[in-house]
A and B are shown apart, each in its own frame.
Chain A
């Protein structure tokens, strides 16, 4: 299993939605950390996303990072591979899963 700790590997201060909006965007995170794992390598490998340790996550960051991933690769594919850990904000996990399910990505 691969683990991505957003605060440690990307930024403790995530930004907004798109790269054009400013630094540390959801789009930037998705392109750098998530998309490569869905484009090559073991497609059955689980990916653990640790959400703890940051200053917080804007709705737009999370939706673009994970909802955007589902729009690109499909909802079921993303749901089957990603696991979320959020001890500091337990409800955040469900929020992100909701963004994936309601992303408009194909099933």
Chain B
């Protein structure tokens, strides 16, 4: 990382998630290299707690009050959700409100959903990772949450293939010779956007109370309570602020959410 001039929280969480995946698949993995020379990047890397999550000789650094260190688990951890809300409210000089309660609720649902998206139904396989940074220039608290499971599009396709096929029918009929929805370009991005908007991600029993996590954060973004909401999963990328949903050339393992708490 010596030449690194910008360090993204999502990138750090993704690296940890990849290590989890290699461990799960019993693929030996060793990383060698240098830390960033850029002071800001180095400071963020050291204060993120990244090296406490991997086997490393790097010493533990002093905490940075602007950084909520990486937290990870396989189970839902309300204590972490509470701490991250406290961190945010302290820096934003706000109190617990309907907005903070909505974000708490979303964090819990995201942690819960990681188990739903697990590769196999065991508690020790898929983990979530979360981190936050207070940007003292913009004043916002930036969040990154990574669900280390199969990814939203893949999970939706596996669990609701018939439903998705019906939903994708208009796209399929426009493409002669295409029978499989996986072949539709940008399908992952469209599935992500659709799940955010709440028009496809309902439980099999169609009960309204389920599948609310993604539509809820989308609703918060729409109401201006969170900013810069972005998702990456499978081959899809969605930027809710720009109302953009694009296909990616490579597959992103898991689901990464990033947003600003305003």
Residues on A facing B (Cβ under 8 Å): 11-17, 20-25, 54-61, 63, 67, 88-89, 98-99, 102, 104
Interface of A is mostly: loop
Other-chain contact of A55, B73, B96, B212 (Cβ < 8 Å): B96
Inter-chain contacts of A15 with B (CB < 8 A): 76-78, 108
Please tell me if the beta carbons of B78 and A88 are within 8 angstroms of each other in the complex.
Answer: no
Give me 19 A-to-B residue pairs in the complex whose CB atoms sit less than 8 angstroms apart, sorted by A's number: A11-B78, A13-B104, A16-B108, A22-B77, A22-B112, A24-B78, A25-B76, A54-B101, A55-B81, A55-B101, A55-B104, A56-B103, A56-B104, A58-B109, A59-B216, A60-B210, A99-B209, A102-B207, A102-B209
Extra A-B contacts (8), CB below 8 Å, given A14-B108, A59-B216: A21-B112, A22-B112, A23-B75, A23-B77, A54-B101, A56-B85, A58-B112, A59-B209
- Judge whether B134 is part of the interface by a CB distance below 8 angstroms: no
Closest 3 CB pairs of A and B: A22-B76, A56-B101, A56-B104
The distance in angstroms between the C-alpha atoms of A67 and B79, with both chains bound, is 24
Please tell me if the beta carbons of A21 and B105 are within 8 angstroms of each other in the complex.
Answer: no
The distance in angstroms between the C-alpha atoms of A14 and B210, with both chains bound, is 17
The distance in angstroms between the C-alpha atoms of A21 and B81, with both chains bound, is 14
Please tell me if the beta carbons of A23 and B79 are within 8 angstroms of each other in the complex.
Answer: yes
Please tell me if the beta carbons of B98 and A88 are within 8 angstroms of each other in the complex.
Answer: yes
Inter-chain contacts of A104 with B (CB < 8 A): 207
The distance in angstroms between the C-alpha atoms of A55 and B73, with both chains bound, is 20
- How far in angstroms is the closest Cβ of chain A from B131? 19
Please tell me if the beta carbons of B209 and A13 are within 8 angstroms of each other in the complex.
Answer: no
The distance in angstroms between the C-alpha atoms of A45 and B213, with both chains bound, is 35
* B127-186 CB contacts (< 8 Å) to partner A: none
Please tell me if the beta carbons of B101 and A16 are within 8 angstroms of each other in the complex.
Answer: no
Please tell me if the beta carbons of A60 and B109 are within 8 angstroms of each other in the complex.
Answer: yes
